Structure 1
């Protein structure tokens, strides 16, 4: 495969540390015009319809640092099917191709899953307190919502990214969890 062949996928949450698909190249990357935010009610992976949690979305504005994966063209149909099953169980995201800048300066068109602002699971801009309330105690098919937040922060740190707002959110969630256990 020549350099640059294949298709790219951009991840800003769990795809950064658990892509779950075959790839031939991985790079840190930045997507401009969107930001990482807990803005999607989770009724599948990190919550239920009765007790929704929150998962990340790409909300409008800012920029987000994540990971981009180059997938071999021959693997693309299988990878795309996997991504659709993983990322679209309730169709809360809109598929789009957007330019991302890789760590080495290259710009590549990448598949991204943008938050669908018209979807009923779009939570919008929530206060830190409301985010903590929703995340604390929520559990879905992929486990506790609090674990998702903790994993995110650990992996962001591993990538050299510090997100103070999400660190503050984890502090609030952990305090709520301790209070519930007391």
Structure 2
């Protein structure tokens, strides 16, 4: 049995990873999926009455992020942290993780939102609807969805990663464009 595993990070896990103690970290691209604010957060970034939104993935496109190699014990911690998300092993017929030299990272886990959850927002949800949820969400145990969106945008900008949905949501939420 392996004692290390690769995981792909596309959101806050990239910079909030002290709890999983990465052994190795590389820049990576998820081919076959893209970031999407598609999961209502009723605890960490909002409340049941006033949910926020958390970042997830949808199939199609690409997503630049990081691949972390972690211990099996750290993976158990990560699974608890990513409750409500499904573990998808790559590569598979739909997605793969590549390093920046376009080598496939074998046996890498990616966390996708559970599309059967009542907190999942389908791809038909408009950016305006998402912006309204983010704006009206209250503080959760970690922060609120506005702070989280700002954090995500700042990270992406810092690493020169272009993400159109994040940029557009940021404009809608912080510039009150509706």
> Which runs of structure 2 are paired with 1:63-82 in the superposition (5 Å)?
63-71=62-70, 75-77=71-73, 79-82=74-77
Which of 7, 28, 31 is the matching residue for 1:9? 7
Give the match's secondary structure for 1:136. Answer: helix
- Confirm or deny: 8 A CA contact 2:36 2:165 kept in the other structure: no
Deviation at 1:97, TM superposition (A): 1.0
**Aligned counterpart, 1:25:** 24
Q: Does 1:95 align with 2:94?
A: no
Q: Where does structure 1 lack aligned partners over 5 or more consecutive residues?
A: 177-182
> Which runs of structure 2 are paired with 1:132-147 in the superposition (5 Å)?
132-138=131-137, 139-147=139-147
- Confirm or deny: 8 A CA contact 2:9 2:110 kept in the other structure: yes
Deviation at 1:6, TM superposition (A): 2.9
Q: Where does structure 2 lack aligned partners over 5 or more consecutive residues?
A: 92-96
Q: Does 1:36 align with 2:28?
A: no
**Aligned counterpart, 1:84:** 79
> Which runs of structure 2 are paired with 1:146-161 in the superposition (5 Å)?
146-161=146-161
Which of 104, 108, 111 is the matching residue for 1:107? 104
The alignment's C-alpha RMSD in Å is 1.7
**Aligned counterpart, 2:56:** 57
Aligned length in residues: 166
Q: Does 1:173 align with 2:166?
A: no
Deviation at 1:52, TM superposition (A): 1.0
Deviation at 1:165, TM superposition (A): 2.8
